Structures are given as C-alpha cells and as structure tokens.
Amino acid sequence: MSGGLTPSPAAFLVLVTGIFAGRAGFALVLVVCFGLGLAAVLFTVGLMALTGRSLVTRAAGSHALLQLATRVAPVLAACGITLIGVGISASAVAGLPGT
C-alpha cells in the first residue's frame, strides 16, 4: 500500500545489481518497468475499492445495518491502521539505543 510513498527496496536492489554487473542501462529500464507495474497495480486496487464501495452502498438500499456499516467501516479501518502504525513506531523507539 505504501508503494507510491516510499522508494522500493526491490527496485533499488535491481538497480544496484545492474550497476555492479556493468549493465546500468538495462537495470534502469527494469526499474522503470517495475515502477510502471507498481503504478498500474495501485491504480487498479484503488479503482476496485471505489467500485466495491459503490456496489455495497447500492446493495444496502434500505437496510439500516448495511448503511451503518458502509459509513463506519472506513473509519474503523483507518483507526486500525493508525493503531498498528503507532504500535510499530513505539516498538521501534523503544528499541533505539539510549532510550
């Protein structure tokens, strides 16, 4: 999910390996193709999420419980991801030397 936010370690590894092997041009082409593929996957996943949400909203119709779920589920997911991030960050800070 963070493919577009941070540099990819796999792409960096391909680039460095290509440079060390003396094929920097080929490695650069591989990294560009890797980036395009990653962009296509992220776009497709986002499009599927939007389509899925509209399908569920339409299917909810007059069902009050499904309507509530379509409003609450994104908030719960965001809270869960935030809590996991805070937990991982706290664990990383606790593991720093001198803390």
Asked whether residue 6 carries a pLDDT value surpassing 70, the answer given is no
Average confidence (pLDDT) over 69-79? 86
pLDDT tens digits along 10-49: 888 888 888 899 998 898 888 888 888 888 988 998 888 8
Identify the pLDDT of residue 84: 95
Domain ranges in the chain are: 1-60, 62-99
**In three state form, how does the secondary structure of 53-85 look?**
HHHHHHHHCCCHHHHHHHHHHHHHHHHHHHHHH
Give the pTM.
Answer: 0.53
Please, what is the average pLDDT of the chain?
A: 83
